[in-house]
Amino acid sequence: MHPRIPQWAITLPVLLLVVSPVPAQVVMADFDDLKQVPAAKKLLDDAAAKLRQFAQGNESGVSVKRASGKNVVFDVKTGKPLSGQITVVFDLHHRHRTTRDGEIRIFGKPLPGIVPYDRHDEVLVEYDIKAGRGKARLAKGPLALPLLPMIDWELWINVEIKK
């Protein structure tokens, strides 16, 4: 030990650290792709399945294009997220098919199936874990009326997860 540093100057801080209550331990992380996290992938798949009921057509579907988490703080003991921002982009594929490929033949040659309606929409969801709320952008686009300038618009709704 150094002759100028008294013993109590080293012992006191160590003793205070041992005796003082330990604050809750948390871990913060960013996730570029939440689809790679098994627990998150299941939640994303469940959300896509519930969103599927809003896709139009007889061959429609929903998939998760992107999912990320920024500044997500977890409680070490429980493993539950305490705060952070989650962003998910769903792809709603609206598709309606009236005939199958090859179902109609002309001069013995099969024709491609008739699909009168086939388009994709993106639904962007931003969710704040701590607040328990978020918002979802259901639609966007330009509005063009004759003799008026083009107007960009977006339709957002509030999202609150009930427990």
- Fill in the DSSP letter of residue 54: G
What are 80-109's pLDDT values in tens digits? 888 999 999 999 998 888 888 888 888 989
Distance in angstroms (rounded) separating the CA atoms of residues 77 and 33 = 24
Domain boundaries, the chain: 24-160
What are 112-147's pLDDT values in tens digits? 888 887 888 899 999 998 998 999 998 888 888 888
Q: What is the b/e burial string over 19-48, where b = at least 16 CB atoms within 10 angstroms of the residue's CB?
A: eeeeeeeeeeeebeebbeeeebeeebeebb
Q: Is 39 helix (H, G, I), strand (E, B) or coil?
A: helix
| Whole-structure pTM value | 0.71
Distance in angstroms (rounded) separating the CA atoms of residues 62 and 45 = 9
